[in-house]
Amino acid sequence: MFGKSVKVAVAAVVAAGALAGCGGTPKAGTAALVGDDRITVSELSQDVRDWREQFRADPVANEMRANPANPARQLGADSESDVRGALTLLINFRVAEEVADEAGVEITGGRVDQAVEGLNRQGGAESITLASGLPRDRTRDLARLVATQAAVMERFGADFTDRMNPATQRAGQQWNELFRRTADGMKIEINPRYGSYDPGKFEINPAEHRLSKPDSGI
């Protein structure tokens, strides 16, 4: 099922991002709200710190991330982009749970195990997680997202033995559309210090910094 290259697998995960920014007044110290689920600034900062330390010590992850086809930006080029990339994935994990419900698929522990095995065959699940911009302890979260995408696309008629099959291509488009619709229907708020979501680019645009603007919460 997961016979594609590492760079395409990572691209699929990153491209799955669909967030809807809106105003609100949640608690200070909040990086994002996804429905009733709160991602804290401290949680996000810890993930990025752990990722940086682990990434530097993993040559396989470095090689993956250096690949021009990898959409993840290079370490050290822009520390803020590292944070935005990590936050995007943390939000994606939560949206994907709703997508699975919408599609009527159950993502069991066995499915996640299969996704981990598939990522291991592509170069190592933990290294792929690091190349994607998250620390190793997020590996199963990333695998769950990959498993969710595969299960939903299969529900839409994808044939992973032939990824050029028009049915598989259509299933991929349906996955993206469902992910976007699901995110749009959820209450998702991003702390302005991290930027704003651009639905056309499927990414968080850099924040516009103002000296007088506090950044302790949304």
pTM of this prediction? 0.81
Handedness of CA 135, 65, 183, 156 (dihedral sign): negative
57-89: string of b/e by CB count within 10 Å (b at 16+)? ebeebbebbeeeebbbeebeeeeebbbbbbbbb
107-161 pLDDT, tens per residue?
999 999 999 999 999 999 999 999 999 999 999 999 999 999 999 999 999 998 8
CA Rg, the chain, in Å?
Answer: 17
Alpha helices in 57-165 (DSSP H): 59-66, 79-103, 109-121, 125-132, 139-155
Cβ proximity of 187 and 98 under 8 Å: no
pLDDT at residue 23 in the model: 41
